[in-house]
A and B are shown apart, each in its own frame.
Chain A
Amino acid sequence: EKADRDKPIDIESDNLTSNDAKKISTYTGNVILTQGTLEIHADKLIVREDQDGFQHGTATGNPATFRQKMEGKEEYIQGSGQRIEYDGHMDKVQLYVKAWVKRGEDIVHGDYIMYDAGAEYAEVIGGPKTATAENPKGRVHAVIQPKSAKGAAQKPADAKP
């Protein structure tokens, strides 16, 4: 939700190397980043701080996952991908390669997914990297449950792609 942007970012990991000059710090080993309701799990996280002090993170994992509560709803949105890029300022998350994003029962798979929590807008693009036998062109694949089911069943799902 929007309030996350003003929340402090807390990152845990097995170990951390930081390069203060370039303001880059690299966390490796079951990294967990939390900021308000936003949570990112990854094997490795590189965080860069821009001149205005906003932090940009690039998490990679097999896969890396993220989870965030929707604005004004009791619903959670979660996703996963080989690489997740997170932009603290614009409140946008980008997932790359074999990515999926799930909201309630609805799920969408794609090669690249950009989720803008602020505008509540997501863009999903297919690509050869996500091609599978049944989906040779690697197209985006979305499964949307009927409205009635979505409103009612709101259990946090531990989605496996």
Chain B
Amino acid sequence: CGFHLRKMESLPFDAIYVQGGTPAMQRDIKRQLAGGGVKVVESTEDAQAALELMGDRYEKRIMSLSGKGRVREYELIYNATFRVRNSPTENWGPPQTVEQRRDFSYDDTQVLAKDAEEQRLVSDMRAEAVREILRRVGSLSKQAAPAQ
């Protein structure tokens, strides 16, 4: 039915410099790109492309209340903004934002456990946001640079 194993994506760069973001995000990016044969380098000089993680925003919103006005569910919204530059000579592309949403049930009698659950969801959202950013970077650069 047309599906094939994902080949080595012919990204038009083999070294990228990643700027900004938390250390955990930088590590995720390094590992996932390494999977695709792209090295994350420490300085801009020896990298063709550059990815800048500009900032993230985290919001926790009450999703539903009980009859008595107690919180029953929270929604977590995480978005990260980034921009890409395909070569040192080009200027930066427009800033783009990826958004992740999770919701989880809440119970006032389990405050500590729910705090831990929230932290786990946040780091999971961050990891997924990094994957989505890399998918965007992959398609943007492929489409921008003519396939060698």
Direct A–B contact in complex, judged by CB atoms less than 8 Å apart: no
Binding site for A on B (CB under 8 A): none
